[in-house]
């Protein structure tokens, strides 16, 4: 486990950034957003989780942490109060320029650490755009998406049913209670059973299309976050960070020429 003061780019001096680039090629971009997560969680829930996980991962497997993205696409969330929605075109340009700047500073393996659902629609466009234009080949960098939720083994920790673990539910609330407990207020939730957040599926099956999410999740959250605890969040975060650190180790050993 590292004893470095910080891995956050914006908290380091210029010479410290340059020194870390000699130790590791990896940069982590925590990707979140600003949107409604019910009355009990902050609008920056996704970014808080992404940044907290990035710090745990870097402590296990050194990497520089780019400034956390609180900006993201959010067109489906604009009917909730508190949402900030950025166009996919601007987000794609921002991701591209961040990659170019990371590579220019010596960090040539860039990880998009994703906590906001829908981010991958833009990040994968960026991947394909880089490949189509052979930007990575020309400038010598590689980009990876990493979705940490799938590595947390949360079914061993949480009490909710799988269909109750969505947006703003027990999983997310527990993680924010671990990382930023002062920002969580479960007393704002209506008591159960009325306080359980429903999820309504779209009406057209076997296809994909966009609608305002408030029609599917009218309360701004899913499930029963009432049973969330910081202890559950800590257990998930530790397991997830261990698993993500193993992925980072693989990325450090990755040879781009082998896949090209």
Rounded to whole angstroms, what are the CA distances from 54 to 66, 241, 253?
9, 8, 19
Percent of the chain at pLDDT exceeding 90: 91
Structural domain span for residue 212: 9-251
Q: What is the CATH number of the domain that holds 146?
A: 3.40.50.10310
> Is residue 27, in this structure, part of any structural domain at all?
yes
Which one is predicted more confidently, 240 or 165? 240
State the pTM of this model: 0.96
The predicted structure's pLDDT at residue 119: 95
Chain segment 69-119, per-residue pLDDT in tens: 999 999 999 999 999 999 999 999 999 999 999 999 999 999 999 999 999
The predicted structure's pLDDT at residue 150: 87
- Show the 3-state SS of 120-174: HHHHHHHHHHHHHHCHHHHHCCEEEEEEHHHHCCHHHCCCCCHHHCCCCCHHHHH
Residue 260: alpha-carbon gap to chain centroid: 28
Chain segment 127-158, per-residue pLDDT in tens: 999 999 999 989 999 999 999 998 998 888 99
Chain segment 191-217, per-residue pLDDT in tens: 999 999 999 999 999 999 999 999 999
Number of domains into which the chain is organized? 1
Provide mean pLDDT across the span 224-234: 98
> Is residue 206, in this structure, part of any structural domain at all?
yes
> Could you give the dihedral angle defined by the CA atoms of residues 175, 178, 180 and 182, in that order, rounded to the nearest 10 degrees?
120
Per-residue pLDDT band for 120 (boundaries 50, 70, 90) equals very high
The predicted structure's pLDDT at residue 73: 97
Chain segment 35-64, per-residue pLDDT in tens: 999 999 999 999 999 999 999 999 999 999
> In the structure, how many helices (H) and strands (E) does the chain have?
7, 4
> Is residue 65, in this structure, part of any structural domain at all?
yes
> Is residue 260, in this structure, part of any structural domain at all?
no
Residue 119 CA to residue 80 CA, distance in Å, equals 18
Residues linked to residue 146 through DSSP beta bridges, in sequence order: 113
Percent of the chain at pLDDT exceeding 70: 98
Sheet with strand 109-114: strands edge to edge: 64-65, 26-31, 109-114, 142-147
> Is residue 178, in this structure, part of any structural domain at all?
yes
The predicted structure's pLDDT at residue 260: 59
> Is residue 73, in this structure, part of any structural domain at all?
yes
pLDDT beyond 90 at 241? yes
> Is residue 55, in this structure, part of any structural domain at all?
yes
> Is residue 119, in this structure, part of any structural domain at all?
yes
């Amino acid at each position: 486990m590292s004893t470095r003061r910080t891995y956050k780019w914006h908290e380091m001096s210029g010479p410290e950034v340059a020194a870390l680039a000699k130790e590791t090629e990896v940069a982590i971009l925590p990707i979140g957003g600003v949107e409604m997560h019910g009355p009990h969680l902050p609008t920056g829930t996704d970014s808080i989780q992404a940044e907290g996980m990035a710090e745990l991962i870097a402590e296990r497997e050194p990497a520089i942490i780019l400034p956390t993205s609180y900006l993201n696409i959010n067109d489906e969330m604009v009917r909730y109060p508190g949402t900030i929605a950025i166009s996919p075109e601007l987000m794609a340009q921002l991701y591209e320029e961040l990659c170019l700047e990371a590579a220019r500073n010596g960090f040539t393996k860039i990880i998009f650490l994703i906590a906001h659902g829908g981010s991958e629609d833009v990040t994968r466009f960026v991947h394909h755009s880089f490949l189509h234009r052979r930007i990575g080949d020309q400038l010598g960098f590689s980009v990876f998406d990493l979705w940490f939720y799938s590595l947390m083994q949360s079914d061993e920790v949480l009490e909710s049913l799988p269909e109750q673990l969505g947006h703003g539910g027990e999983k997310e609330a527990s993680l924010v209670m671990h990382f930023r407990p002062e920002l969580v207020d479960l007393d704002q939730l209506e008591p159960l059973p009325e306080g359980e957040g429903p999820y309504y599926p779209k009406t057209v099956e076997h296809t994909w299309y966009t609608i305002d999410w408030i029609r599917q999740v009218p309360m701004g959250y899913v499930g029963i976050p009432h049973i969330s605890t910081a202890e559950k969040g800590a257990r998930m975060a530790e397991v997830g960070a261990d698993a993500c650190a193993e992925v980072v180790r693989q990325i450090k050993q990755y040879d781009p020429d082998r896949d090209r």
